[in-house]
Structure 1
Amino acid sequence: MEHPSHSPKSKNKILQFLIYIRDRFDLEEGKEDELETIEYIRKNVEFKGANLWILIFAIFVASIGLNVNSTAVIIGAMLISPLMGPIMGIGMAAGINDFELLKRSLRNLGVAVFISILTSSIYFYFTPLDNAQSELLARTEPTIWDVLIALFGGLAGIVAGSRKEKSNAIPGVAIATALMPPLCTAGYGLATMNLYYFFGAFYLFFINSVFISLSTYLIVRFMKYPKKEFLDQKKEKRVQTYITIFTILTIVPSVYLAYGIVVRTLWQEQARRYVEVEMKFPKTQVLNSEADFSKEPRLIQVNLIGEELDAEMLEIIKGKATDYGLDQTEVIINQSGNGSTDFNVLRSDILKDLYERNEQVINDKNQRIALLESEVANYAQVRALGGEIAKEAKINHPGLQKFTLNRSLVTDLQSQKADTLLLAYAEFQPKPSKTESDKLVQWLKLRTKSDTVALILY
């Protein structure tokens, strides 16, 4: 007897499901002609004329965004930027064995990088805002996430570029892979002579560029784009050799560097977890911690404040580092009372910082108090004058029955601005003429030394 799962009906359903899945993920549907896609990428490789000016303006916008720490401005600059063209051109050229396109792409990428760094260096050299903001500092050291974003972003970019209907994926890839901010940060490093920022940011740009090119190369090979043909077989083999050497020289070091980034990222995450989990105490707190992967051996330094821990407890905590894969890592724990010079300096810096912050808060509060006191004094002065002015006004206007004077905040709905206005309320019996009311207003302006007085009559 045939097993139910092996019945023709079951096999047919499985086959239909597999066909459905294949159709869902079929890259052939909606694909542009290969030669059209190659030409589309070839056109976007060149950096001259309008493209070059757009790049310069985009670099200025991105540099300003990094300078003032505005994420929205940085995103806008990445949308404008045409940097993706030559990077995808490199991957396309390697995939179809087009050595001429490869040389053009590399040459134009070099021009774009040079112009970008030069432009951002000029901006950061002259800008009065020379502090490194968080958006800028985030581009000085690549992580595993940057590698993955560049790889998957590049895959999305070349797939979108190979469609008949061009989508907004390529601008999205430019934003996700963040090619411009690292170049601007490299320019900042050059302008301030900070080589750590320069090389760190340029390293991030290099990694992003290589993995975008790699993803383009993989998709071009996967979709079997036609390779460039040569009449001379020797020349074809020579070109293929050049392309292969270039690909190996680019990809192998990049993969090695990416592996180093993965190791460092995992170590930093384990170091963070180690401090977070193992250094929780009832009467002692972690003031701050620093994990340095670059030192040999690797170093975790923690500063504690509160009740001191005994030597035995400290040794137990240090021994637990191996449970987190931190075998070749030195753990240094400074306590508030252990006489550590570094910690005393740190404590001094913290106290200084707290003092400066509190001083600023006090100054702000003093300014607010002074402003409020001024406002209260003005209101008190008006109230004090109100009684005197009412008696004087009664002499000049016998029909005046009730009178009050006060300051009021009035908002102009057209300009959306608020201003303080002197407001007078008067009851007459009988109702005064226009001449009498105008006379009262002019007298109030003179008496109160105000430019404007609003009079409400009843």
Structure 2
Amino acid sequence: MENNSDTKKVKNSFSAWFEDLKEFMSGRFSLEEDKAQRDEVVATVEKGVVFRGVNLWVLIFATMIASLGLNVNSAAVIIGAMLISPIMGPIMGVGLSLGINDFDLLKKSLRNFTLMFIVAIITSTVYFFISPLGDARSELLARTVPTTYDVLIALFGGLAGIVAQSRRDRTSTVIPGVAIATALIPPLCTAGYGLATGQFRYFLGAFYLFFINSVFIALATYLMVRFLKYEKKAFLDPVKERNVRRTMLLITLVTFIPSVVIGFHMVRVSLFEATADKYVSQVFEFPHTRVIECEKSYAQGKNPSRIEVVLLGEPLAEEIIENARAQLIRFGLKDTELVVRQGAATDKLDLETLQKNYADLLDEKNRRIAELQALMSRYRVVDVGVDGISQELGVLMPSVGTIALTKGIRFDMKGRSRDTLLLCLVTPRDAETAIDAETLRQWLRVRTKIADVKLYIETPADEE
């Protein structure tokens, strides 16, 4: 009976502790604090959806600023364009309308989203068409190939954005931060660059990135709206309600399902590239051969995945390359094609000679640096630490009253430096006191490490 009683007490204690923990965590992560009313949030988002007047002009200006930033390869300018761009409004409007079953808001959001896209594309295309700088810089190229990280950034950025919009206090830095993180305006400008220069692969890649970001921001908004349990819009006509629900469900499926499939494909591509990098780094490790380039392409249609490496140095035998192909299975790259490009035997590079040449060059540089440092030390007149020397000399030779020291350089009549000397002027404590000049000179040579010491003894009478 006692054991059962103890067990019951333990269970009750654990249950109470668990309830306290649950209540603590619920309070910490609750979104009810400072939560705005549903109608207030809808009105705020709906206001940002419309592109008319100020919003439209700000979009044009932000597009021009972002295009300039991409053109001159300035990250700071691009970030500024993201901060002032009103491009998030229609995207969050789509997600909110799907979450609360508001078909009118959905139509308004899609119309303004289309208008925003067209205006931004035309503005950036016109800019890049007349811009004298036509080269694709790194900031621009980074917006042509979407990655898994872009999907995750858009998803979590959308979640942060709708949470910030659902608060009564909207003066926080969350919404500007989301605008920077999700980076919607630069891909549109990159798409305009692709149209202006006739490089349609840039246009398609940038548009793909913009579409993925937009869809996952809208998806994040939809999920958070459902999590916050906002009341859905009701219809008086059951037939109209059923038609609206079907239409919105169709739009949701057509928009989100392909994006999820695309996102899953991007994850697989990222995993393949990471595995391929690991394979190349571990398998192609040889003392006299280096991998100078590695290109990876994931399977598309009937074309298998492919890894192409370019080697520099001693050519590998065919048996070694076949052994490398056999190891693809061990890394989970079963159906991957391996292509190895290397020089012929006549193009063999002696890496040892190359290393020796680099070592000789490094030694020559070090020798030259040492010569220059020695030359600088000869010409530099530096402090010889008179304060420390005077204190030490006061203990060793109480007969010395004052001392003056300076380090100088001796030159010949052709302006060439010969050696360094130390000039020392000492004064006895009084006229009757004698100073051992030779002992002082020897001590100064050891103390200052300067062999040439010129010592002058001045009498107190002369000093006066």
- If the length of structure 2 is used for normalisation, what is the TM-score? 0.71
Q: How does 1:12-161 map to 2 (within 5 A)?
A: 12-161=16-165
Partner of 1:172: 177
1:9 Cα offset (Å): 3.5
Q: Deviations for 1:341-391, whole angstroms, at most 9, x for unmatched residues?
A: xx9xxxxxxxxxxxxxxxxxxxxxxxxxxxxxxxxxxxxxxxxxxxxxxxx
- If the length of structure 1 is used for normalisation, what is the TM-score? 0.72
CA contact (8 A) 1:154 1:173 kept: yes
Which among 178, 185, 191 is matched to residue 186 of structure 1?
191
For 2:180 and 2:96, the matched residues in 1 are separated by 21
CA contact (8 A) 1:283 1:306 kept: yes
Matched AA of 2:48: N
1:58 Cα offset (Å): 0.5
Matched AA of 1:270: T
For 1:282 and 1:84, the matched residues in 2 are separated by 53
- Matched residue SS, 2:328: helix
For 1:338 and 1:51, the matched residues in 2 are separated by 66
2:13 paired with 1:6: no
Which among 315, 329, 336 is matched to residue 322 of structure 2?
315
1:294 Cα offset (Å): 5.4
For 2:17 and 2:116, the matched residues in 1 are separated by 54
For 1:282 and 1:243, the matched residues in 2 are separated by 62
CA contact (8 A) 1:4 1:10 kept: no
Partner of 1:197: 202
Higher Rg of the two aligned structures: 2
CA contact (8 A) 1:183 1:201 kept: yes
1:34 Cα offset (Å): 0.8
Partner of 2:388: none
- Shift in CA distance, 5/71, structure 1 to aligned 2, threshold 3 Å: farther
Matched AA of 2:339: I
Partner of 1:380: none
- Matched residue SS, 1:29: coil
Partner of 2:365: none
Q: Deviations for 1:14-35, whole angstroms, at most 9, x for unmatched residues?
A: 2111100011111111100111
Q: How does 1:28-427 map to 2 (within 5 A)?
A: 28-166=32-170, 167-293=172-298, 296-337=303-344
Matched AA of 2:174: A
Q: Deviations for 1:29-84, whole angstroms, at most 9, x for unmatched residues?
A: 11001110011101000001010110111011111111111111111110010000
- Shift in CA distance, 180/338, structure 1 to aligned 2, threshold 3 Å: farther
Matched AA of 1:112: M
Partner of 2:417: none
Give unpaired runs (5+ residues) of structure 2. Answer: 349-464
Q: Deviations for 1:133-175, whole angstroms, at most 9, x for unmatched residues?
A: 1111111111111111111110011011101111221111111
1:338 Cα offset (Å): 6.1
RMSD across aligned positions (CA):
1.6
1:339 Cα offset (Å): 8.5
1:7 Cα offset (Å): 4.6
Matched AA of 2:145: E
Q: How many residues align?
A: 341
For 1:158 and 1:59, the matched residues in 2 are separated by 24
For 2:14 and 2:99, the matched residues in 1 are separated by 41
For 2:143 and 2:132, the matched residues in 1 are separated by 21
1:268 Cα offset (Å): 1.3
Percent of residue pairs bearing the same amino acid type = 51
- Shift in CA distance, 14/138, structure 1 to aligned 2, threshold 3 Å: same
Matched AA of 1:257: I
- Matched residue SS, 2:327: helix
For 2:34 and 2:161, the matched residues in 1 are separated by 15
For 1:190 and 1:276, the matched residues in 2 are separated by 39
Give unpaired runs (5+ residues) of structure 1. Answer: 344-458
Matched AA of 1:156: A
1:8 Cα offset (Å): 3.3
